[in-house]
Amino acid sequence: MTLFKRLAPSAIALAMFAASPAAMAQQSVPAPGTGLLDLYTYLHTHPELSFKEQQSSAILAAELESLGFSVSTGVGDDWVRQKSERDEGTVREGVGGYGVVGVYENGDGPTVLIRADMDALPVPEQTGLDYASKVTAMTWTGVESPVMHACGHDVHMTSWVGAARELIANKDAWSGTLIMIAQPAEEIGLGAKAMIEDGLYTDFPVPDYNLALHVSASAPAGTIAYSPGFALANVDSVDIHVKGVGGHGAYPHTTKDPIVVGSAIVMAVQTLVSRNVDPQKPAVVTVGSFKAGAKHNIISDEAELLLTVRSYDDATRKLLLDGIERIAKAQAEAFGAPEPDISIDSDYTPSTYNDPDLTDKAVAAMRGVLGEENVTSVTPVMGGEDFSQYGRTSQDVPGLIFWLGAVNPEKYEKAKGGPLPLPSLHSPFFAPDPEPTIETGVKAMTAAAMSLFNEG
């Protein structure tokens, strides 16, 4: 059964979107039950950086509490035994930072987890919207910067709230346990891991399924896109400290030039993709930063290379990382330079795999409420998402993250084949078309969850 067929489209819009964005710009902190467009505009105007999502998490926790979500005072198997001892009507805050967890038990059935991420980016907003962010804050790297929801997490949070409202309002139509989590620090790839390490799968029920959505800057509002199987990539960060022997630029024979060594490394690591990786397996090795020297006529004694490395399967990931280390050391030896220091960030973001069976069920349900033509399969991308962490634990929980079209349909049509591309995610010009985007997100997520609760 699909929820939104119970209401006429005009009734849905009236219930979800109570005011214009312009009217919302000066509003105080939204209370539970605030119209979704009002909520979205407030969140967009008041973005918070990773692990600083204090107000966003409080707003979302209050919303869950008003809907009757609860948490257990016990852990693991005690969840069942201590049911009578629970603190009913409360929601757990502060999980893995500012993470929020709410649990709603609604009889026997599957346990479905729905996740939204909350953090914004250190990007100066240039959308020209009258509710554009004017917030500045200190980044995790210690830089004072303007802050913007340039990756759509404000849409994610709002759609999450809307789905929670719809599922609770229609609880007679499904049976099972609903877990709603609001996650911090997705943008730095640490929030999901922090929530898991802080007891997400021990202090709360272990889900049977995980669901999430992410806005798309390349699809029109009102549509959904998905990729069965691998959908997003492993993301590794590699730092290479190239060592040399500095000296005068006029006497290079007396030096070991780290710029030359670094340049050779840059060119050689590209052969990992072109000559070592199976051509049918996607892989990316990008050198995003190359820093060395301070003056025209001085040969530095060091250089720094910063790389991002992308892959899907773990075997390809290992091949790339081992190859980078081998090449960097061998190139330095070839030039007679000292061995470089190589650092691979242990907090990497693993690839996201959409369980095919789960995807089929959810997609069928989403097509039922949105129409066959508005839910389409797309090619996977090499971006990263730490939603993958929720399925990479010992629990091995199947998951699905799908793309939510966010571009104004008229702008989308004009941009097709035009000279200027649409603003991408993380762009200071990225501005979702909020009303149809959020309405579609609520419909899609609600339908997907319902299909899983009612699969039996």
String of DSSP letters for 74-113 = S-TTHHHHTGGGSBTT--EEEETTTEEEEEEEESSS-EEE
309 and 378: one domain? Answer: no
**Could you tell me which residues come within 8 angstroms of residue 192 by beta carbon, excluding any fewer than 6 positions away?**
183, 186, 386, 387, 388, 389, 390
Domain with 319, as residue range(s), is 234-344
Tokens in use for 45?
Answer: 């105007």
Degrees (nearest 5) of the Cα angle 285, 219, 192?
Answer: 55
Structural domains in the chain (count)? 2
Amino acid 451: pLDDT: 98
How many whole angstroms separate alpha carbon 183 and alpha carbon 387? Answer: 9
- Which CATH number covers residue 271? 3.30.70.360
Tokens in use for 152?
Answer: 């759509």
44 and 145: one domain? Answer: yes
328 and 420: one domain? Answer: no
- Element (DSSP H or E) covering residue 213: strand 209-220
DSSP 6: G
How many whole angstroms separate alpha carbon 154 and alpha carbon 125? Answer: 14
User: Which of these three, 344, 368, 396, is where a domain ends?
Assistant: 344
286 and 296: one domain? Answer: yes
User: Which of these three, 322, 344, 366, is where a domain ends?
Assistant: 344
Q: What is the CA radius of gyration of the chain?
A: 24
Q: Which pairs from 74-80 meet CB under 8 Å and 24+ separation?
A: 75/199, 75/202, 75/203, 76/202, 76/203, 79/204, 79/205
Residue 248: strand, helix, or coil: strand
Is 93 catalytic? The answer is no
Contact 78, 86 (CB under 8 A): no
How many whole angstroms separate alpha carbon 28 and alpha carbon 47? Answer: 14
Amino acid 24: pLDDT: 40
Amino acid 71: pLDDT: 65
336 and 358: one domain? Answer: no
Amino acid 417: pLDDT: 75
How many whole angstroms separate alpha carbon 167 and alpha carbon 173? Answer: 9
91 and 192: one domain? Answer: yes
Active-site choice (63, 125, 154, 186): 186
Nearest to 328 by CA among 316, 342, 308, 343: 342
Residue 273: strand, helix, or coil: helix
207 and 281: one domain? Answer: no
- Burial grade of 189 (CB within 10 A; 0-12, 13-18, 19 or more): buried
193 and 294: one domain? Answer: no
DSSP 456: -
161 and 137: one domain? Answer: yes
Amino acid 429: pLDDT: 98
String of DSSP letters for 118-149 = ---BS----S--TT----EEE-TTS-EEE-B-
How many whole angstroms separate alpha carbon 127 and alpha carbon 312? Answer: 34
Residue 238: strand, helix, or coil: strand
Is 333 catalytic? The answer is no
Tokens in use for 114?
Answer: 């729905």
> Which residues of the chain fall short of a pLDDT of 70?
1-27, 71-89, 456
Tokens in use for 153?
Answer: 């997490």
Amino acid 26: pLDDT: 54
How many whole angstroms separate alpha carbon 162 and alpha carbon 198? Answer: 27
Cα distances (angstroms) measured from residue 10 to each of 13, 17, 168, 204: 5, 10, 21, 38
DSSP 245: B
**Could you tell me which residues come within 8 angstroms of residue 57 by beta carbon, excluding any fewer than 6 positions away?**
93, 98, 99, 100, 118, 182, 184
Nearest to 41 by CA among 151, 165, 157: 157
64 and 164: one domain? Answer: yes
Amino acid 211: pLDDT: 98
Amino acid 7: pLDDT: 32
Q: 309: number of CA atoms within 13 Å, CB side?
A: 32
How many whole angstroms separate alpha carbon 24 and alpha carbon 110? Answer: 38
Contact 448, 22 (CB under 8 A): no
Contact 209, 358 (CB under 8 A): yes
361 and 384: one domain? Answer: yes
Tokens in use for 55?
Answer: 């107000």
- Element (DSSP H or E) covering residue 405: strand 399-407
408 and 267: one domain? Answer: no
Active-site choice (119, 166, 187, 203): 119
Tokens in use for 54?
Answer: 């204090």
Contact 441, 153 (CB under 8 A): no
Amino acid 292: pLDDT: 98
- Which CATH number covers residue 168? 3.40.630.10
User: Which of these three, 324, 344, 364, is where a domain ends?
Assistant: 344
